[in-house]
Amino acid sequence: MSADNSQGIKTVLQESRTFPPTPEFSANAHINSEEQYQAMWQRAKDDPAGFWGEMAENLDWFQKWDSVLEGDMPETKWFNGGKINVSHNCLDRHLTTGRKNKAAIIWEGEPGDTRVLRYQDLHREVCKFANVLKSLGVETGDRVTLYMPMIPELAIAMLACSRIGATHSIVFGGFSADAISDRNNDAQSKLIVTADAGWRRGKEIPLKKTVDESLTKSPSIEKVIVVKRTGANVEMVPDRDYWWDELMAGASADCDAIELDAEHPLFILYTSGSTGKPKGVLHTTGGYLLGATMTSRWVFDLKEEDTYWCTADIGWITGHSYIVYGPLANGATTMMYEGAPNWPDEGRFWELIEKYQVNIFYTAPTAIRAFIKWGDQWPNQYDLSSLRLLGTVGEPINPEAWMWYHQVIGKERCPIVDTWWQTETGGIMISPLPGLTPTKPGSCTKPLPGVVPAIVTEQSEPLGDNEGGLLVMTQPWPHMLRTLYGDHERFVETYFGKLKGLYFAGDGARRDEDGYYWIMGRVDDVLNVSGHRLSTMEIESALVSHDQVAEAAVVGFPHDLKGEGICCFVTLKSGDGSDDMKQELTNHVRKQIGAVATPDQIRFAAAVPKTRSGKIMRRLLRDIAAGRETAGDTTTLEDYTVLAKLRDEE
């Protein structure tokens, strides 16, 4: 964790380049001066209740709150006594304005089919589906799992849940049957919505089949609703499985949005932590919606006429906050694309930008690295002049990739917002404000209003400029997680147990002399693979569940495209291991967790190096995985020969 000074200084020197927004961009931005930002930030720090109370006037409340903020971290309540509904704020309130006929969602499927849902259309579909859910027994407070492709029905299902106060739990379509059943069981979900299949690189992903497999181990699920997407042949179990379109045909389009408490659970989203069991991050209604709404407006500078496209999958928090809830609460036009960026060819994203005249484009560094590899000839074939703002999220962006994005996609005209946040934070925390912040490639710059971070030591002591340390939040914010579903103790322990009174994000970072934050990556046993969070322990458990595996240790290593790759050290119960065994273990991990966790390297070892107390020596393994010379103190190694053997294997 200790910062390497020579490197730190070198990086700073390299990145003394700053890129201020153009005068035209600033002139039209919602927030456009440093003074305005400073005033907002200071006000929010000194008087959070006053600041957020004022911001909350941007939402439509059935009943005003009694108090903006009660309690302190970790036990906070926002807008207590207030009554609100997310679906009403994303839909109904726009229908009395000119937005009624505006495109809410512009969707394109991978095969090229398209749909546009105006606010009025989306409202109708959501009301109907809310009635469908009710007719199948879903009540306020129940949990509903969504395991779906990137099709408008996913957004419809989310908004329908929020309309009746059912808590949705979305499981990313790349996860396995076991991952679905684990989540169904943890949340005690009553119903699951899926599709026959989804399209990915011209192939059908058999979602319903995977759901069927998960249901052998998900006793809480009573009903399944299936969207017909590809026409794939699926098995339908009578009185359990229903076709979406058949249910919708008979549903009324009349459904009042329920007046919910501000702290009513809106959704659960599972994410990986440093132990094997995924954490059910719980977000609530009023505070989350306020955060998603305001950060969308500030960071993406959303304007009435913009076409906005976030390329994330809705199965991750980015899609929740910045495809669905944030943009729709602002009455914006949000684009959704079902498939892969390289289908039918590597120009697909740029073709979509030209076709729909996209103005704001939000993607991930791992995608940008793939674009660079595919070559400039792809974006250069298309007219990208509609773009006015670019964004990134998910991992630190390397300065080369930042410069490429700036030059080849943004034509040196578009500000880039590098947004740091987490599933737990609900919305963007540290990011440039595009109308004023001079950006530095590789830095997520400064905290948004309402966000008061610090860099501290393991003993919670504040560190100075350019000193690497732990990134924490010192004040609560409305869109923070409230608990880990069903395990409040783990919530308190994970985020507040390490550094008393501070929210610990799990990231290392430094702040430079201009107050800019530079994220240095995770400090816990969490990998960031293509911007997706995976726990080393989860992958280790998956490996050990194979009957031939005695022990496994998983570490990350630098990977050109994914940022971090997955390297597995495996000790077999017998035998030396073979290529067939590698393939078998790879398939086993994919089956246990999903394709996102596919190992990049599997290395067989006689034993894994451990400290005397039995902790896996990950630092050593990381060095071996990366092909670096093993450095550092090895005196605690239980068995030196293990290390020598591992190095021999290279």
Shorter beta-carbon distance to ligand WT7: residue 335 or 519: 519
Task: Provide, for the chain, the percentages of residues in helix, strand and coil under a 3-state DSSP scheme, each rounded to the nearest 5.
Answer: 35, 25, 40
Tokens 């004040």 correspond to 475
CA separation, residue 361 to residues 26, 150, 389 (Å): 18, 17, 7
Shorter beta-carbon distance to ligand WT7: residue 221 or 481: 481
H helices of 274-414, in order, are 285-300, 317-319, 326-329, 348-356, 365-374, 377-380, 399-404
525 touches ligand WT7 (CB under 6 A)? no
311 touches ligand WT7 (CB under 6 A)? no
Amino acid at 553: A
Shorter beta-carbon distance to ligand WT7: residue 232 or 596: 596
Could you give phi then psi for residue 335, rounded to 5 degrees?
A: -100, 145
Q: What is the DSSP letter of 279?
A: E
Three-state SS for 104?
strand
In the list 183, 223, 522, 559, the residue contacting ligand WT7 (rule: CB under 6 A) is 522
Shorter beta-carbon distance to ligand WT7: residue 108 or 395: 395
Q: Give the shortest CB-601-to-ligand WT7 separation in angstroms.
A: 22
- Contact predicate 383/547, CB 8 Å: no
Q: How long a stretch of residues is the chain? A: 650
- Contact predicate 587/603, CB 8 Å: no
In the list 110, 306, 507, 564, the residue contacting ligand WT7 (rule: CB under 6 A) is 507
Q: Which of residues 398-437 bind ligand WT7 (CB under 6 A)?
A: 418-423
- Picking from 198, 139, 195, 189, the residue whose alpha carbon sits closest to that of residue 168 is 189
In the list 393, 581, 608, 643, the residue contacting ligand WT7 (rule: CB under 6 A) is 393
Q: Give the shortest CB-442-to-ligand WT7 separation in angstroms.
A: 9
362 touches ligand WT7 (CB under 6 A)? no
446 touches ligand WT7 (CB under 6 A)? no
Question: What residues are paired with 334 via a beta bridge?
Answer: 105, 308
Q: Give the shortest CB-493-to-ligand WT7 separation in angstroms.
A: 18
Of 67-75, 161-169, 181-189, 388-396, the segment contacting ligand WT7 by CB under 6 A is: 388-396
Q: What is d(CA 125, CA 116) in angstroms, rounded to the nearest whole number? A: 13
519 touches ligand WT7 (CB under 6 A)? yes
145 touches ligand WT7 (CB under 6 A)? no
- Contact predicate 221/138, CB 8 Å: no
Of 179-187, 501-509, 581-589, 609-617, the segment contacting ligand WT7 by CB under 6 A is: 501-509
In the list 48, 152, 506, 563, the residue contacting ligand WT7 (rule: CB under 6 A) is 506
274 touches ligand WT7 (CB under 6 A)? no
Shorter beta-carbon distance to ligand WT7: residue 117 or 314: 314
Shorter beta-carbon distance to ligand WT7: residue 351 or 524: 524
Q: What is d(CA 314, CA 412) in angstroms, rounded to the nearest whole number? A: 30
Shorter beta-carbon distance to ligand WT7: residue 83 or 532: 532
Q: What is d(CA 612, CA 273) in angstroms, rounded to the nearest whole number? A: 24
Binding site for ligand WT7 (CB under 6 A): 271, 317-318, 393-396, 418-423, 444, 505-507, 519, 522, 528, 531, 533
